[in-house]
Chain A
Amino acid sequence: MTGRARALLTIGLAAAAFALSSCGVGGGLSPIFPDPVSPNGKGIYDTYVGISVVAIIVFLGVEFALLWVVLRYRRSSQSVGYVPPQVHGHTGLEIAWTAAPLVIVLAIAAYSFVELQKDFQPISNQQMTVIVSGHQFGWQYDYDNGVVVHQEGSITTAVTPFVVPTHTLVKLQFRGTDVIHSWWVPAISGKTDAVPGYDNFSWLKIDQVGTWRGECAELCGAGHASMQIIVQAMDRSDYDAWVNQQKAASASPSASPK
């Protein structure tokens, strides 16, 4: 096989791998996050798409430039006795490819900063607050109406869901009680660390009924993989029934989880 044929074959393989990785959506080969169900997750999703537009152009442009160099300027493609021009630089070009990346990254930084200000500020207009405490190995959710959900870690069985009402702005207040944990449900939003010593914040607002999975994202010991998270969103009436059921269960000592 000639060098050029081999180069083309490799490029073909790489393209096939890339195509494969972008079409098998959701089956372990998704090129983007799960469909967001909370506005802050949607904001992150859109930022990712926006960056991707620029990133794909830069990626393709530079890779094709490399490919062109490989195919066009290899010695076997040059005429016999070709002596390359002994160029030491070009001020204009060097300024151009300093300025171009600068403009691109400033634009991406500004675009990201707008999203950062929009969805990552501590909120005060919440309709309910839940204190989420991470511990080795599980999560505890303390609702402001007194309900407590213990989501003890398990890798094989489904864990107790953290239930929220739909159409409600829920403030999440994170606390670490031993080591650092990180609460992450990709379909809702990014992750927030539960660090000992201070409260960390996030929020969610889900407008559809459903169940979403996540897990702890910060190595926290041998049970790290078992710190699964299930978030379940219920209609207001179902949610109220669930709250009453929880209150009744905790009122009778035998049904108490601890």
Chain B
Amino acid sequence: MATTVLPRPKAYDDTFFKPISLWLTTTDHKLIGIMYMVTSIISFVIGGIFALIIRLQLSQPNLKIIDAETYNQVVTAHGVTMIFFFVTIFVTGIANYMVPIMIGARDMAFPRVNLLGFWLIPVSIILYYCGFLTGHAMNAGWTGYAPLTEQAYQNHSLGVDFWAMSIIVWAISGIMASTNFLTTIIALRAPGMRFSRLPLFVWAQISTSILLLIVGAPLAAAMILLEFDRQLGTQFFTTAGRPVLYQHLFWFFGHPEVYVMILPAFGIISEIVPVFARKPIFGYMSMVAAMFGIVFLSMTVWAHHMFTVGINTYVEGFFMLMTMLIAVPTGIKFFNWIATAWWGSIEFTVPMKFVFGFLATFLIGGITGIYLASVPVDTQLHQSYYVVAHLHYVLFGGSVFGILAGIYYWFPKITGRLLNRRLGEWNFWTVFVGFNGTFLIMHTLGLEGMPRRIYTYANPAWGATNLIITISSFLIAFSILLFLINVVRSWNHGEVAGSDPWQGNTLEWATTSPPPPYNFERVPPVRSFMPLRDLRESGELVEEEPALSPV
């Protein structure tokens, strides 16, 4: 007589299509995590379309595909969408999904705050895009420097107001999520999951949350003061006020925000390298210490975005030194990753390829960061295409490669199915070539004097370089299209993964794929920072019934 298999709860069949009422009301961290990630990927596509418009406009000198005002709106929308609505939201989403499982918890500490925090994000996104309905969307760059954002220079249009409101809502959401992550990690760890045994991705989330908790409020403050100026006629940042104060407030948020976007990617890399090299992470404690070094230093460097506004040279020297010191903890992490892979038996799966893509490109972003930190050199490179190239090496070559590695790595856990490997390989190689083709030669434009955020240029010498960049950027778009096709196809038709397709080290691989609503029937014992590997080696690991039947 066959044993009766209980039907799985309706919410957790593997299909993406679930009742809308469930999506709207669920407090399950996994479904909220999926909603975060899907929202962010939609933003990624929208932000990417803006990028392609920018590249078309710049592909040749003196083009007029769009006019200057539209260009300024598009360039702003690209930055706002990618930074606020894509990368930050994606890393929040993947942490929302993974952190509770990795520490052996059943959910986040405040499930309803979690749901509210998520739903503030679509509100924030819609608020921002309402600016386009007014015909005068925000046009002062994602940094929104005053006094250009003040009423006097905006013809009393509402685009800036929608942007400021959107950012305030976004900051509140980020503060909620950070509080929730910290409480969850401190209070809901499984028995045996000491701080010294937390997976490095969880440590990354602790450091990210601390950062966002500290710097979210100054960002909201800057936006509120700006709105006071615009709506109540105060004079904080106007031409008659103190425009540079805005820059201080904004960059006190803005620079740590870079680390809010990259630290989770560091965490993802630290999870993936040991699994596919079949070696434990090299220097666990120094990895954790390095992350906190970065957290501390990142809050002491903001004025390196302001080396041309005319600050006392000794103060500039301080910010230069602190900025360069970030290379030390980052270097520790880099060398530890290489040492983890050294002597390994590396399986170059798609996630591992993205990890090495990350290492190869993020290094360039790190090195150009040293040039930019040097005050004299920065006065040349600041606000030029060199900076645009640098920040994309950090944000795309760093964060986005890390995110893609994370998606290929955790997609089987989230959906129960593997992403198609052949499409994944194509995705990796096309995006790697397209990315470097776009951004490597972009450095040279900045060195030759092309400022960022100009809608066109008259210099014919820049035409060929810009054309190569534009063609390469379309290769990136093609690659992302392959990625999207892969995700959509594999979600329902991919190869069934089983609970542990990669022979992972951490707790998320101990449960079924996708995990049940309560995550674990019984939380496995935790004896080190690689609890699952301990169980596998001691023979205690019981293979779970596959949650999905093969197609």
Contact = CB atoms under 8 A, between A and B. Distances in A.
Q: B62, B285, B308: which has the most chain A beta carbons within 10 Å?
A: B308
B233 interface: no
Given A27-B461, A88-B284, A116-B375, A180 B342 contact: no
A55 B378 contact: no
B16 interface: no
B371 A28 contact: no
Interface string B319-338: 01100110110011011101
A98 interface: yes
A29 B441 contact: yes
A117 B445 CA distance: 28
B462 to A, nearest CB: 5
Interface stretch (A63-71, A125-133, A139-147, A203-211): A63-71
Interface in B268-300: 277-280, 282-286
A157 B211 CA distance: 48
A47 B317 contact: no
A74 to B, nearest CB: 5
Interface in A191-249: 191-193, 195-198, 200-201, 213-225, 228
A118 to B, nearest CB: 9
Interface string B432-470: 110011001101110111011111111101111110000
B231 interface: no
A250 B4 CA distance: 99
Contacts of B345: 73, 75, 78, 82-84
Given A85-B279, A97-B331, A217-B384, A184 B338 contact: no
A196 B363 contact: no
Contacts, number: 311
Nearest to A117: B313
Given A28-B463, A98-B328, A224-B68, A215 B454 contact: yes
Nearest to A20: B441
A34 B433 contact: no
Contacts of B145: 179-180, 218-219
B465 A195 contact: no
A32 B371 CA distance: 12
Contact of A198 (B67, B310, B347): B310
A221 B153 contact: yes
B383 interface: yes
Contacts of A59: 363-364, 367
A87 B321 CA distance: 34
B316 interface: yes
A47 B444 CA distance: 17
Interface string A84-102: 1111111001100110111
B175 to A, nearest CB: 29
B310 A192 contact: yes
Contacts of A62: 334, 338, 363
A84 B279 contact: yes
A51 B377 contact: yes
A62 B321 CA distance: 23
Given A66-B359, A86-B280, A116-B317, A219 B308 contact: no
Interface string B409-443: 00000000000000000000100110011001101
Contacts of A29: 441, 444, 465
Given A29-B441, A180-B243, A225-B455, A193 B448 contact: no
B148 A18 contact: no
B286 A89 contact: yes
Contacts of B523: none
A112 B350 CA distance: 41
Given A10-B432, A30-B447, A69-B338, A121 B348 contact: no
A186 interface: yes
A113 to B, nearest CB: 5
Given A84-B345, A196-B243, A197-B239, A17 B280 contact: no
B517 interface: no
A58 to B, nearest CB: 6
Contact of A18 (B139, B280, B341, B440): B440
Contacts of B339: 87, 90, 93
Contacts of A3: 348
A151 interface: no
Given A63-B363, A119-B376, A217-B383, 16 more contacts: A21-B443, A44-B376, A69-B342, A73-B345, A83-B345, A105-B325, A112-B377, A113-B317, A155-B457, A184-B383, A192-B310, A196-B239, A198-B310, A213-B449, A221-B148, A224-B455
19 contacts: A21-B443, A30-B448, A59-B367, A62-B338, A69-B342, A70-B356, A73-B341, A105-B324, A112-B320, A112-B376, A113-B321, A116-B375, A176-B243, A179-B243, A191-B380, A197-B242, A219-B453, A223-B68, A224-B72
Interface of A: 3, 6, 10, 13-14, 17-18, 20-21, 26-34, 43-44, 47-48, 51, 55, 58-59, 62-63, 65-66, 69-70, 73-75, 78, 82-90, 93-94, 97-98, 100-102, 104-106, 108-109, 112-113, 115-117, 119-121, 136, 155-156, 174, 176-180, 182, 184-186, 189-193, 195-198, 200-201, 213-225, 228
